[in-house]
Amino acid sequence: MNLLVATTHINPGEEVTISYVPEFYNLPLEQRELRLLRSYWFHCTCLACTNSWGVRDQLPDILARIPNFEQELCFVVRWGDKKDICDEINSARWTAEFGLSSDCLEVSQEALNILCVALNKHVRKPHLNFLEADDLVKRMIICKYLGYDINEVTAMEKQRELEKEKELELKMNPPAEINPKKGKFSKFIPATY
């Protein structure tokens, strides 16, 4: 059984799309474009691709209560202090995390609604807070609709991270294998296309 749940509000008549490649924050723009052109023969016009959003490590991750000029770029309104906005966002995030950890999914869901509305109203995309909110929504959905405990979800996420690290390690340092012609160990070099 597959379960499809939206992680953002969908307005009537709004287009619903899927990603043909990993999310923008996991794969650089050039690689996404190449995969789309090779496999599906089209050029993507989503916000992330048309605005050249960076991968997760390149996204802004700070919401300053009293921002400097550069930090102002993260906000929709680019003047004045942002104490109330930051307090609202941080409070909603904390409440959502608390709701998940204490198995109060209704509290978590309400806090996530407040968090998503506040982010969409006050913060410009792309920003790491959107990805963190999306991760919290996914965790809440797994707990609520699939019946997992938050500790099980955390364990699954850690296992997935370890598998990704191992996969990356194998790509960076391929295992040595015996060369049948020479009878010696040689470094395996994967074919590139």
For 77-106, the pLDDT digits (tens) are 888 889 999 999 999 989 988 888 887 888
For residue 22, the model assigns a pLDDT of 79
For residue 169, the model assigns a pLDDT of 80
pTM over cut 0.95: no
Q: Quick check: helix, strand or coil at residue 178? A: strand
For residue 23, the model assigns a pLDDT of 83
Report the C-alpha gap between 66 and 82 in whole angstroms.
6
* Bridge-based pairing state of the strands 176-179 and 184-187: antiparallel
Report the C-alpha gap between 144 and 78 in whole angstroms.
37
- Residue numbers of the chain with a pLDDT score lower than 50: 193
State whether the Cα torsion 112-10-17-28 is positive or negative.
Answer: negative
pLDDT (tens digit per residue) in 106-129: 888 888 889 988 999 999 999 999
For residue 128, the model assigns a pLDDT of 92
